[in-house]
């Protein structure tokens, strides 16, 4: 059977983790494995990270957390999603950490603890400028006072999230750090026994060394790509995923013969057109065809025409590939390398969008190297 393949290199993951550890010093690393570990396969990735003795993992939904628990992951897990009452019992039963990200989340927790006598560990999220989830910065003092008076709720951490950590102008990011420092100071004055303070994501690890506190959350950088063109590349990470597609047929096409939908691609000389059984339903951005290319045996060949739902065509020129051979969309195969960052730039998307789009019919193969 022909399917696209995401070849996941676990040795590269381990090396990236060590490089990040070297960068952040004593700060604990919390790998983010939400969205199927950014398309890499959350269960296997989490197992590898657990073997590497990471202190925490992060997911978005309860379903993601329970899937990890059901597959032998015992490492502490933080859920980023908005707290709902039905999350609390499974959180306690499975040793999952939830977050307070809205004022009435506190009431939800206190009601549960009053009824059950015990609640899950909690991290308080403070909105310092993202305007998404998080207790408003100017309401944080009130929530902290309420938590200080409710010792039966275990406040393990306080955190926030950057809006612009991966951009060139870091003025707003520094404002967010200042606000978060005020919250940290306030928690200290209230003598709250908070174990973790965290704000840094991948962009901040690269651009904002004063944001590390004692825990950092890393996703994209761990998987071997950079969040944007405006982050430092001071940590030289390796792409964990090689995304590839199978060649299912090769046909000789005469000069002047249109290829694919809209007939927008017309070769100016006779060529070999390879049909690749991978399309935009598998995560390839449809508009990548305009300047796009694939890698094959150390060379790059242009995409021929619009990418289809299930297939795409490539102009191999005079080269005649064999049926069943694979092309590289992005990753590092030694002689053939294509950076996902380059594709993101060309199609005006982010590496996050491209990486998490890979799913469905793609077969994942895990390699220890």
Do 126 and 43 share a structural domain? yes
Spatial separation of the C-alpha atoms in residues 145 and 249, rounded to whole Å: 67
- β-pairing, 271-276 vs 28-31, is unpaired
Do 270 and 305 share a structural domain? yes
Residue 196 located in a structural domain: yes
Catalytic residue among 34, 48, 125, 244: 34
Residue 231 located in a structural domain: no
**Arithmetic mean of pLDDT, 235-255:** 98
Instruction: Work out whether the CA dihedral 86, 90, 93, 98 comes out positive or negative.
Output: negative
Spatial separation of the C-alpha atoms in residues 302 and 306, rounded to whole Å: 11
In this predicted model, what pLDDT tens digit does every residue of 321-360 receive, in sequence order?
999 999 999 999 999 999 999 999 999 999 999 999 998 8
In this predicted model, what pLDDT tens digit does every residue of 181-211 receive, in sequence order?
999 999 999 999 999 999 999 999 999 999 9
Do 295 and 172 share a structural domain? no
Residue 236 located in a structural domain: no
Do 209 and 108 share a structural domain? yes
Residue 2 located in a structural domain: no
pLDDT at residue number 369? 86
Unique residue bearing structure tokens 């199927």:
36
pLDDT at residue number 313? 98
Closest CA to 28 of 145, 118, 156: 156
Residue 230 located in a structural domain: no
Point out the domain boundary residue: 151, 183, 218: 218
Q: 163 is written with which tokens?
A: 């809006």
pLDDT at 37 over 90: yes
Active site residue 19: no
Residue 3 located in a structural domain: no
Do 272 and 188 share a structural domain? no
Do 260 and 356 share a structural domain? yes
Question: What does 258-297 look like in DSSP terms, one character per residue?
Answer: -BSGGG-B--SS-EEEEEES--GGGT--GGGGGT-EEEET
pLDDT at 1 over 90: no
pLDDT at residue number 360? 82
Do 305 and 199 share a structural domain? no
Residue 340 located in a structural domain: yes
Catalytic residue among 189, 261, 269, 297: 261
Q: What's the pTM?
A: 0.96
- Which domain CATH number covers 207? 3.20.20.10
pLDDT at residue number 279? 97
Spatial separation of the C-alpha atoms in residues 172 and 147, rounded to whole Å: 29
Do 253 and 170 share a structural domain? no
Q: Tell me the residue range of the domain where 152 lies.
A: 10-218
Closest CA to 177 of 118, 129, 231: 129
Do 201 and 53 share a structural domain? yes
- Which domain CATH number covers 350? 2.40.37.10
Q: Which long-range contacts (CB under 8 A, 24 or more apart) does 319-322 make?
A: 319/272, 320/250, 320/272, 321/247, 321/250, 321/272, 321/274, 321/296, 322/247
Domain count, the chain: 2
Do 207 and 301 share a structural domain? no
Do 205 and 273 share a structural domain? no
Residue 234 located in a structural domain: no
Do 154 and 27 share a structural domain? yes
Active site residue 261: yes
pLDDT at residue number 359? 83
**Arithmetic mean of pLDDT, 67-85:** 98
In this predicted model, what pLDDT tens digit does every residue of 164-177 receive, in sequence order?
999 999 999 999 99
Point out the domain boundary residue: 218, 233, 268: 218
């Amino acid at each position: 059977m022909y399917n696209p393949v995401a070849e996941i290199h676990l040795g590269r993951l381990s090396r990236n983790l060590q490089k990040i550890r070297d960068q952040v010093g004593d700060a604990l690393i919390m790998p983010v494995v939400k969205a199927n570990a950014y398309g890499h396969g959350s269960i296997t990735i989490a197992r590898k990270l657990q073997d590497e003795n990471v202190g925490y993992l992060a997911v978005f939904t309860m379903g993601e957390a329970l899937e990890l628990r059901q597959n032998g992951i015992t490492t502490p897990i933080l859920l980023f999603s908005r707290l709902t009452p039905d999350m609390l019992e499974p959180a306690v039963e499975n040793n999952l950490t939830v977050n307070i990200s809205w004022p009435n989340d506190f009431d939800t927790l206190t009601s549960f603890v009053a009824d059950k006598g015990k609640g899950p560990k909690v991290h308080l999220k403070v909105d310092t400028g993202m305007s998404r989830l998080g207790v408003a910065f100017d309401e944080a003092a009130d929530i902290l006072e309420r938590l200080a008076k409710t010792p039966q709720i275990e406040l393990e951490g306080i955190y926030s999230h950057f809006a612009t950590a991966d951009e060139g102008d870091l003025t707003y990011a520094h404002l967010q750090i200042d606000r978060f420092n005020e919250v940290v100071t306030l928690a200290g004055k209230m003598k709250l026994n908070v174990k973790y303070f965290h704000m840094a994501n991948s962009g901040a690890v690269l651009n904002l060394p004063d944001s590390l506190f004692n825990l950092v959350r890393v996703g994209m950088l761990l998987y071997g790509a950079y969040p944007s063109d405006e982050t430092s590349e001071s940590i030289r990470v390796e792409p964990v995923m090689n995304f590839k597609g199978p060649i299912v047929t090769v046909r000789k096409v005469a000069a002047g013969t249109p290829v694919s939908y809209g007939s927008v691609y017309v070769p100016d000389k006779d060529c070999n057109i390879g049909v690749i059984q991978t399309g935009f339903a598998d995560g390839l951005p449809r508009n990548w065809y305009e300047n796009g290319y694939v890698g094959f045996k150390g060379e790059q060949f242009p995409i021929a025409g619009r990418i289809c739902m299930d297939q795409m065509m490539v102009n191999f020129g005079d080269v005649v590939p064999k049926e069943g051979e694979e092309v590289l969309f992005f990753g590092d195969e030694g002689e053939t390398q294509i950076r996902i960052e380059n594709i993101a730039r060309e199609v005006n998307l982010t590496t996050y969008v491209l990486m998490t789009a890979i799913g469905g019919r793609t077969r994942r193969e895990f390699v220890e190297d």
